[in-house]
Structure 1
Amino acid sequence: MATTKKAWKLQDFMAHGADVKCLGLGHKSGRVLVTGGDDRKVNLWSVGKPHSIMSLTGHTTSIESVRFGHDEELVVAGSLSGALKIWDLEAAKILRTLTGHKAGIKSLDFHPYGNFAASGSMDCNVKLWDIRRKGCIFTYKGHTNCVNCLRFTPDGQWLATASDDSTIKIWDLTAGKQLTELKLHRGPVNIVEFHPSDLLLASGSSDKTVKFWELESFQCVSTSDTDKHPIKSLHFHPEGSCVYSACGDTLKVYGWEPLVCHDVVSVQWADVSDMAIANSQLIAASYNKTNVSTFVVDLNKIAPTGMTSKSENARASLTSASGRRSFITERPHTSCNSHPNEPKRSDTPPEKGDNEDDGATSRADIQNQDDYHRLFKENARNPQVRARAEPFMAPPEDDFPAPVKASPQPGPSPGQRREVTPAAKPPVHQSDKEGVQAEDFLPPERSASKGNLSEPETIEKLTKGHSSMMTVLAQRSRNLQVVRAMWTSGNTKTAIDSAISMKDQAVMVDLLNIINSRGSLWTLDLCNLLLPQLKDIMGSKYESHVVTAATSVKVVLKNFGSLIKSNMEEPPGAFVDIQREERHKKCLGCYSVLTSIKSMIQSSQSSATPKLANIFREIVLLMTSIE
């Protein structure tokens, strides 16, 4: 029955035309979601609705990290090239482009007072940015691997950073130096979160534990039991009564002094990326390939916040018994624009990193005027509107349903707020007719007038915005058909030459995947022909392309490494051996390209993702066969 359900999937929708790389929920309301993808776009969503509100473009490489501002009026996105872009959502325009990192940005956060932001990168550095003056204030160096997460304290005085090097560092922003290093985790630290008021930090790691750190003595006060999966997402209850840990297919609720697991809830999610709380409901979001899924957990039905009224005294004691000092979160009154505790500034000028533009080509394209007006125009006048929205109602089934195909509902007109009673019936997502109707996928203004929608209009609406992608895919399909025709006729070399001449990396990657699966196809001639292409693909911005090329390089080294090495010497001058001379020439060409590939790998190994780093290490080891 719906009354016994603790958690359910809210929706599952396609968020990008390429793989989703990151997402973030608005933590003030829990009602907005931002996603970043391999298509270099940042898309904005209203939680529970299937259509994008706004699409933010301008980055030249994939989006690796996104974060809302505290009032959900700003969004910052970090790219693989190391650039940040900050958008003003109310004005629907680019606010700042900041450059300086030498590798992809994996973590972001806004300072509580809004004028500063911090970024953590695969270049192992942390940068503090002044949004107003458009420059890097300070670069914090000390981590030896990728910075996975960073968070400002609620009072804005400190910054905690978590890294793949298994450490957490606490930085004093005013002094511009490291306060301490927390080193008890035995694996990469994926997430850190500060208690909303007390001097307490929670951390989650790939060692599958959650640790709680007291921030007066910087000591670990408790550690959870080892879980089955790495800990990647944590979120404190706003009252500070407990912390929620999303791990594998479960939600665990922890207290810390002493450590206690208040509740365990089974939820059909995997690798939750972010959580927020709205109206006594925990909202969680995860992604897989091009899709994003959102989930709801009813906090009134799980401990400790779901305890009955007769346990109110015990419930209140959860937040009052620690005696721990609290952060002073009230912003001091000042008579000038600068904050008295403004972070210490570096004496060095702002750094320049990549060649991303300064906003000239960055755009904020509004996709849904009604939702945009409701969320960012009305809320600008009344910031509590979004937070007062009705809870997400549970579906009626006892068990988790299949992904909800959430169709858009006609929104309220500008300036009008829909009245909802607490016992309202869940919204109906499909028409009474059997099957899915075309209007289920149309924007609200069209679905409201579906009776007047002609078939050509329906087709035009469904295909709008996809014409460019359809053109690209159609051309790729034609190229693959040409290559396939040559391949099936038995002329393998001609097919490969044709694919190379098309200068389409996607076609080459498709072809390489076939060749990699059939080791008997590889010959010294094929190595000599394909290695220059593999070198180019190794520099691709798409990880899947790099993985395919790296796999081919491994095949070449395993099968032909010893042959290449043995044929590197010049043939004897007294004899004419045309075959040996040709073999020497081909092996020399292969050696030259493989040496270049090794240099590329060594220069980018420190900033590679864990998956690529492992493959790169294998290649470097295999390179010894030709040295």
Structure 2
Amino acid sequence: MAASGATKITWKLQEFVAHAGNVTCLVLGKNSGRLLATGGEDCRVNLWSVSKPNCIMSLTGHNTPVECIQFKDSEELVVAGSQSGSLRIWDLEAAKILRTLSGHKANICSLDFHPFGEFVASGSMDTNVKLWDIRRKGCVMTYKGHTNAVRCLRFSPDGRWIASAGDDNTVKLWDLSAAKILTEFTDHTGPVNIVEFHPNEYLLASGSSDRTIKFWDLEKFKMVSCTEVESTPVRCILFNPDGCCLYSGSQDSMHVYGWEPPRCFDVLQVNWGRAADLAICSNQLIGASFSQVTVSTFVVDLNRVKKTGSIVQGVVEDEKLYNLPVTKGAVLRRNYERPLTTCSRPQSKVKEEPESEGRIPSGEEEKDDKESTAEIRNPEEYKEIFQPQNAIARTPPRRTDPFPAPPEDDTVAVKEAEKVIAPTEVHSPVLQRMQAEQLNFSPTVASTPINQPEAPIIPIAKNEPIGLKVADFLPPQNNKLADLSDEDAVSQIRKGHDTMCVVLTSRFKNLDTVRAVWTTGDVKTSIDSAVTMNDLAVIVDILNIINLKPYIDKLLQSKYESYVQTGYTSLKLILQRFGPLMADNLVTPPSIGVDITREERHQKCKLCYKQLKNLLPILQSKAGLPGRQGSAFRELQLLMAAFE
């Protein structure tokens, strides 16, 4: 716990000069929360122990400014990418360069180590994502699909997927074993700066310059929820280790979010400027930021931060009291299954990079590595962290004691530093209670019970009343909700369903427009209007009506030539556009990786194949006809042959 007598929730840990030139990037070791690496315009990578002022080690070798850095989970390796597009990997335990990799044609913007195998992924301003085999010293494969710089990369906890985010406003999910894109999320309206996988569930969070955080279900590949717009772009996020909430480091503040339903549990003022990275150590959140040549680190006591199911000042935040559903991740979606062995080399149809692009010739690499150094600046600290005595295998620096809070020496300053940023929709009694909890908190003394507690949840969405009488829909035993006005009650009931309400309202409006034109008898204009709306939901509704019965076989056997032509054109379009997809799903063997929707796709393709196979006798009977009609049916036969 914090030092005796200390009442601070957040405080600055240290500030130091990190490089001779401007600092360009930094990263915290997520495993220990005690290790910090910085990169600078001086082309160096410097290592620091969080809370210690002296540099442990300085790594050289890059000839251009370092653009990004990343630790391996075990923190014995660090990789750095430069403006020239090269990567260098250092072994920190051996204090030497391990690999030099080259292949990107522009700045390296993002890096990540595979959680199990000896692989590292890199994203660049050249729009490519590359997967490197550290042992083979070369590029295994290149993923192409982004149209702008790739700003962030993350491997999934089970090591089977890569999530990439970029300046093209998209988040892409790649399957490593299949070497192909699984899905693409395009709902952000600005560059996506950061992505993070939930530590257990099939859930992904992405933060963007559009000032929102979006949560994505990785089973259904759909958006779960979206936060309210923040005041500044979102650049660093971090899930709590148990997955109960998400922390967002905003400009001089920290937000704590839930996603089902979307809520903001807490907002704290932290004077860290623009936070660059977050980590958690001993139930404290460590934040780091940089400005010019200096780096600053900050601490937030998570014991004092409101999280779902958390206990604040001895009072449990009762979800049932406010009619907020208690969601369990394992019930909503499946968890990752982490393999017991290391990852083998991905098998794919993607060709390996040519020798000149994907690998450095051995002679050149050796020459380059000789120019790279790992200079130990603080031998005692280096030995303590990377070469512990009597250790069979090195482990990241772990200390059970949290960083102590400085003793309170200025009551007014402390109150200002810990003042919660109050959203406009929170009433003054709520704010007073939250401030009282923060400033008078004591781990050993229970607080005075509050007779009429206000809801501690800061709502994200603002809902407009719809004028309904809702008393009958409220639980009779819930006196808190029963005393609410209709407007507030509707807001409580609709909380968490705003996205669906918007979708259904838009869909109803569009369908009503199509229906109005349809009833006039002008069906063609009605269909044209549906197409111009660019709403796939409306198109699906109309096609479902048309496909209530299999009409194509009747059209192909019609005595009217125009009907036969329409049936032929429809079937040809289906076979050309969807035939290869259906064939692949029918013949592809069971995948080694996790593919949640594969069985559903397989069943649908089997149903389509069955219906198409019923048409085969018709095609064979008409393929022998003379002239253009026979030729058309022979073409359909060839397209159908893909299924055989």
**What range is the shorter-chain TM-score in?**
0.5 to 0.7
The aligned residue for residue 546 of structure 2 is none
Q: CA deviation at 1:360?
A: 1.3
By how many angstroms is 1:310 displaced?
Answer: 5.8
1:133-184 C-alpha deviation (Å, 9 max, x unpaired): 1100111111111111010000011100010111111111111011111000
Q: How does 1:216-295 map to 2 (within 5 A)?
A: 216-295=219-298
Taking a change above 3 Å as real, the CA distance of residues 319 and 50 of structure 1, as seen in their structure-2 partners, is farther
Deviations 1:71-126 (A, max 9, x none): 01000000000000000000001000000000010100000114000001011111
1:376 to 377, 386, 391: 386
SS in 2 for 1:61: coil
SS in 2 for 1:40: coil
Instruction: Indicate yes or no: 2:337 matched with 1:326.
Output: no
Structure 1 residues 143-222: aligned runs within 5 Å? 143-222=146-225
Closer/same/farther in 2, CA of residues 307 and 346 from structure 1, 3 Å limit: farther
Task: Determine the C-alpha separation between the residues in 1 that align with 2:397 and 2:415.
Answer: 27
Q: Tell me, in whole angstroms, the C-alpha distance in 1 between the residues paired with 2:5 and 2:179.
A: 53
CA 1:213–1:367: 2 relative to 1, 3 Å? same
**1:66 counterpart residue number:** 69
Task: Tell me the residue number matched to 1:19.
Answer: 22
> Which amino acid is 1:38 matched to?
E
Instruction: Tell me the CA shift for residue 385 of structure 1.
Output: 6.9
Q: Normalising by structure 1, what TM-score?
A: 0.60
CA distance in 2, matches of 1:96, 1:323: 43
Match of 2:97 among 94, 98, 108: 94
Of 377, 387, 393 in structure 1, the residue corresponding to residue 398 of structure 2 is 387
**34, 45, 50: which is aligned to 1:47?**
50
| TM-aligned CA distance change 1:78 to 1:239, over 3 Å | same
Distance 2:416 2:387 in 1: 35
Query: Post-superposition shift, 1:344?
Result: 6.9
- Given that 2:178 and 2:347 are in contact with CA atoms closer than 8 Å, whether structure 1 keeps it comes out as no
TM-score by length of 2: 0.59
Judged with a 3 Å threshold, the aligned counterparts in structure 2 of structure 1 residues 333 and 53 are, in CA distance, closer, same or farther, namely: closer
Question: How far apart, in 1, do the equivalents of 2:204 and 2:112 lie?
Answer: 16
Contact in 2 for aligned 1:174/1:344 (Cα 8 Å): no
Contact 2:157 2:199 in 1 (8 A): yes
SS at the partner of 2:152? strand
Bigger Rg, which one: 2
Q: CA deviation at 1:386?
A: 2.3
Q: Is the 8 A contact 1:161 1:192 kept in 2?
A: yes
Does 2:358 match 1:347? no
Distance across 2 between alignment mates of 1:350 and 1:199: 37
Give the Cα–Cα distance (whole angstroms) in 1 for the partners of residues 266 and 191 of structure 2: 26
Aligned-residue offset at 1:351 = 4.5
1:320 to partner: Cα distance: 2.7
Instruction: Letter of the 1:17 partner, please give it.
Output: A
Contact 1:65 1:79 in 2 (8 A): yes
State yes or no: 1:109 paired with 2:119.
Answer: no
SS at match of 1:323: helix
Q: Judging changes above 3 Å, is the alpha-carbon distance between structure 1 residues 351 and 276 closer, same or farther for their aligned structure 2 residues?
A: farther
Distance in 1 (alpha carbons) for counterparts of 2:266 and 2:347: 41
Flag the 1:95–1:181 CA change in 2: closer, same or farther, 3 A: same
Report the CA distance shift for 1:296/1:368 in structure 2 as closer, same or farther (over 3 A): same
Structure 1 residues 163 and 400, CA, compared in 2 at 3 Å: closer, same or farther? farther
Helix, strand or coil for the counterpart of 1:370?
Answer: helix
Equivalent residues of 2:37, 2:47 under 8 A apart: yes
3-state SS of the aligned residue for 1:230? coil
2:39 to 36, 40, 45: 36
Is the 1:375–1:386 contact (alpha carbons within 8 Å) kept by the matching residues of 2?
yes
Question: What residue in structure 2 maps to residue 489 of structure 1?
Answer: none
Give the partner amino acid of 1:115: E
In 1, the alpha carbon distance for the partners of 2:47 and 2:394 equals 18
1:347, distance to aligned residue in structure 2 (A): 3.3
1:458-500 deviation digits (Å, cap 9, x = unpaired) = xxxxxxxxxxxxxxxxxxxxxxxxxxxxxxxxxxxxxxxxxxx
Contact 1:107 1:150 in 2 (8 A): yes
Question: What per-residue deviation string (whole Å, max 9, x for no partner) do you get for residues 41-64 of structure 1?
Answer: 000000001110000000110000
Q: CA RMSD in A?
A: 2.7
Structure 1 spans left out of the alignment, 5+ residues: 404-422, 424-627
Quote the Cα distance in structure 2 between the aligned partners of 1:350 and 1:303. Answer: 53
2:106–2:126 contact (8 Å) kept in structure 1: yes
Identity %: 53
**Residue 345 of structure 1: how far off its partner (Å):** 6.1
Q: Report the CA distance between 1:342 and its aligned residue.
A: 6.4
Match of 2:609 in 1: none
The secondary structure found in structure 2 opposite 1:359 is helix
Q: Which runs of 5+ in 2 are unaligned?
A: 418-442, 444-644
1:584 matched residue in structure 2: none
Per-residue deviation, residues 350-381 of structure 1 (Å, max 9, x unmatched): 45389885311100000000100000111864
**2-structure distance, mates of 1:299, 1:256:** 19
SS at match of 1:4: coil
Deviations 1:238-271 (A, max 9, x none): 0000000011111000000000101000110121
Q: Is the 8 A contact 1:241 1:319 kept in 2?
A: no
Q: Which secondary structure state, in structure 1, belongs to the residue aligned with residue 290 of structure 2?
A: strand
> 1 CA distance for matches of 2:295 and 2:83?
20
Q: Residue 374 of structure 1 aligns to a residue in which SS?
A: helix
The amino acid that maps onto 1:328 is Y
